[in-house]
Amino acid sequence: MSDKQSPTELFGSDRMWGLKELPLPDPVSWWPQTEGWYIVGGMILAGLCYLIWRLWTRYRDNAYRREGLADLERMANDPVALKELPLLLKKSALMAGSRQQVANLSGRAWIEWLNETAGQELFSMADADSLEQLAYAQPGRAFTDGKVAGHLIEASKSWMRMHRASA
């Protein structure tokens, strides 16, 4: 090929000379054109609002769990504070269940209710005596049995995490 090429060699044929480029169509709008899409968009927006509301109410309703778990962590490090464990469990149970259901429970019935709402047996019947002993201990006295105290703290943490509130 030579250094200089004719326009016919560059562009094909002489008939192409003088043609103008066709105009492109307007870009397609992404904005919905029919009412149905507005309805679908409104339903999606309503669903998102409902989901956010449910997540927020669940977070707010579980505040007692977060506070209870923080208190249990404090009790695990302070044997004198362990005296508050029965009260903490009862307060948390009152948040989870109805007052008529929970308020009068004690002893074996209390332990059975705790295990029932957890869905598994976390507390033994011997724990009923330990919780009662803690509830009526003299102020400022530490609970002496470390193994029982550790079991009660761990069982209480598990119950706080997994119990289901009754309607």
Note the pLDDT of residue 5.
64
Average per-residue pLDDT for the chain: 83
Packed helices 107-118 and 126-135: angle between N→C axes, nearest 10 degrees = 110
- Identify the three-state secondary structure at position 101: helix
pLDDT in tens, 10-60: 556 666 667 778 889 999 888 888 899 999 999 999 999 999 999 999 999
What's the pLDDT tens digit per position in 105-134?
888 888 888 888 888 888 888 888 888 888
| Cα–Cα dist 53/24, whole Å | 47
Q: Which residues of 65-89 are buried (b: 16+ CB within 10 A; e: fewer)?
A: beebeebbeebbeeeebbbbbbebb
pTM of the model as a whole: 0.68
